[in-house]
A and B are shown apart, each in its own frame.
Chain A
Amino acid sequence: MAEVKIKNISKRFSPNSPLAVNNLNLDIADGEFLVLLGPSGCGKTTTLRCVAGLETQTAGDIYIGDRLVNGLPVGERDIAFVFQFYALYPHLSAYDNIAFPLRAQKLQKDEVDKRVQQVAKQLRIENILNRRPSSLPSGEQQRIALGRAIIRRPQVFLMDEPLTNLDAALRTDMRVELKLLQENLATTMVYVTHDQIEAMSMADRIAVMDQGVLQQVNTPLEIYNHPSTLFVAGFIGTPPMNLIDCHLNGSNTLSDEKGDFKLSGSLIEKLKSKIQDPEKPLIVGVRSEDVFIDTADGPSEVRGEIVARESLGDETIYAVEIGEYIIRVKTDPTLVLNTGTNVGLNFARDRIHIFDAKSKEAIKL
């Protein structure tokens, strides 16, 4: 077991291509479950492959434990990697696949057998050890791939979207199992995914990346509640956070271009104290569960028309058109409104996020 330190690493695949990873710093604690989250092409897999040694970073240092591993061959880093496509050796049985890393260490036959059986028991795949991977469903293949990773008792697990190829139900089960497994083994885990649900449900901490740049590293709830950049705000959460281009207009209200959306109150005073330029373009972000529908004809600050309804069973999401914006509102399923209804919207003031439209960073209030 070991911590992983990533210091200022950058990666460029060829001299003229853009940076795949841009000056990334990340400290992963011993025994931590860290998820690298981001859309495809954001550099998360490249980062993971640099840690593994499958790619060489253009600049920067990587430490595993106390060891600087720059330039160290893959086999000597004492890590295990689970690939998105499992990469199980098709010509070997499940047993031999799992035993494969131990055979590299030239362990005694009974020792190998003992450990394979132990791992198989842990992953509940004792009965399929003689089968070839191709004859097994993807869930079992996944377990074999996990078995091959954990049998060596490496210092760090690296996982590259291991659940992507499973069907939805199985994925939910495996999330729990994977988390339990990691807790039992107490081994540092770096896990790459583009699926925010996987990230939120398993991670001790999430590192969100976009276009090679690390956006925010924090616990799942902290990231959800206090996104530090516009990208994080828009990427995390389903439905995504409502974002509205606004400015202060010099007055005491924060409103959009046409004035269909406006906010006033103590929030504005706080905001004014934080920004120098009153004309600064801002973006207001509010999550769908922090918007409330007011069906009364009362004088709500913001009014709009319901244009769509998504009934999900446990909740209903209304799309409300306000000027040129569509605001999504998450409500209790007991509230049933027809499209075309004109409604007022209230916002949970303490849960409104404000971003600088230029720097794309959050303005803390």
Chain B
Amino acid sequence: MTLNTQETHGSNQTKVIYYVKEFFYWSVLIVVFAFSIFPLYWMFNTSLKPRADVEKTPPTFIPFVDYQPTLDNYVDVFFKDRAGAGFAEVDQDADRTISEFPKALANSIFITITTTVLAVLMGTLAAYAFSRFRVKGQGDLLFFILSTRMLPPVVVLIPIFLMFNQPGELINNVLQNIPISFIQAFGESIRDFSLRNSYTGIILLYITFGLPFVVWMMKGFFDEIPKEYEEAAMMDGYSRLEAIWKIVLPEAFPAMLATSVFVVITAWNEFIFVLLLNRDNATTVPPFLYSILGYGQVEWGRTAATSVLFLIPIIVFTFVARNHLLRGVTFGAVRR
């Protein structure tokens, strides 16, 4: 498109310069694209290969041409019948029982959604307060919030492990009056309210990781939304909360989605904490993937298939959110 307009004017020399520039531009783009897409392609490629083809040298690249693709690996993800795969040794006598994958995937989805919704909600409200009100010690508070992200997670791993191992008597006492069915719905036992092996614990932890990010992103965003919007709404007889709900949130929604992408990715990919703190029922896909890798010979086909399945929800989410992510934000109705 740009080529055509360029062709109509300019001397031959400028044309040549233009094509050279264009050539380098596209070359760089293609290299970067290939570099980033290749691991994904390789993962997908491997997931379709029969066992024998996976470790073949030289490697094979194109399904149907180099090898006959199969969905066996995907079927295997859902069953644990091969020795040394999955949590097989836990339950060796069963022939083709369902693997932990569906449960782990459901957990991943549940934990990620809950984390994201709560972190984005709380962080948005905190960010709104920081942006709109004169909070005492605002700079220090904001720095403090950010500073929780400054340590490498490994440093806090052991303290958090110890913390989560507390029997949690206080919580036990508080929750004594809550109907048991409600608690069971969260997969907990009334006896042990330590935060280990619980959704509550890991969600709390992920919210802690996600919040600083949300607060900082959303504060920056709210600073951009003129406060006149809420003032106008309040003048018209709405309360501040109503003004936030009716005016600010619709405006902030794209930003909230953009922010939630980051929270989603952190929670979705988190490995070390969930590996250490949760097992069995409350674990997520990353430790499950690790468990496939963990014993004996690595089943690359199955690993790749699990990874592909693990990737799909994120791709769907990004696809659904992409219009909002790209949408212009304040529409220029307020002139500066």
Contact = CB atoms under 8 A, between A and B. Distances in A.
Interface of A: 52, 54, 73-76, 79-81, 83, 85-91, 100-101, 104-105, 132-134, 138, 141, 148, 152, 165
B335 A100 contact: no
B231 to A, nearest CB: 5
A100 B246 CA distance: 10
Contacts of A76: 237
A85 B335 contact: yes
A74 B228 CA distance: 13
B333 A81 contact: no
Given A132-B331, A138-B335, A87 B228 contact: yes
Nearest to B253: A91
> Which are the 8 A-B pairs with shortest beta-carbon distances?
A87-B228, A101-B236, A104-B237, A90-B331, A134-B331, A90-B333, A75-B237, A133-B333
A80 B233 CA distance: 10
A86 B335 contact: yes
A75 B240 CA distance: 10
B333 A100 contact: no
A76 to B, nearest CB: 8
Interface of B: 226, 228-229, 231-239, 242, 247, 250-251, 330-336
A85 B238 CA distance: 20
B241 to A, nearest CB: 12
Interface centre among B236, B239, B331, B335 (most CB of A within 10 A): B236
A104 B233 CA distance: 9
B334 A87 contact: yes
A100 B233 contact: yes
Contacts of B235: 52, 54, 74-75, 79-81
Contact of B231 (A87, A91, A105, A141): A87
B335 A87 contact: no
Contacts of A101: 236-237
A101 B237 CA distance: 7
Residue among B238, B330, B336 having the largest count of chain A Cβ atoms under 10 Å: B238
8 contacts: A54-B235, A85-B334, A86-B334, A87-B226, A87-B232, A90-B334, A91-B251, A105-B237
Given A91-B331, A152-B237, A165-B335, 9 more contacts: A52-B231, A74-B235, A75-B237, A75-B238, A76-B237, A85-B335, A101-B237, A104-B242, A141-B333
A363 B197 CA distance: 86
A87 B237 contact: no
Given A75-B238, A90-B330, A83 B335 contact: no
A254 B232 CA distance: 55
Given A87-B334, A90-B330, A133-B333, A100 B229 contact: no
A100 B237 CA distance: 10
Contacts of A83: 228, 231-232
A88 B335 CA distance: 10
Contacts of A87: 226, 228-229, 231-232, 334
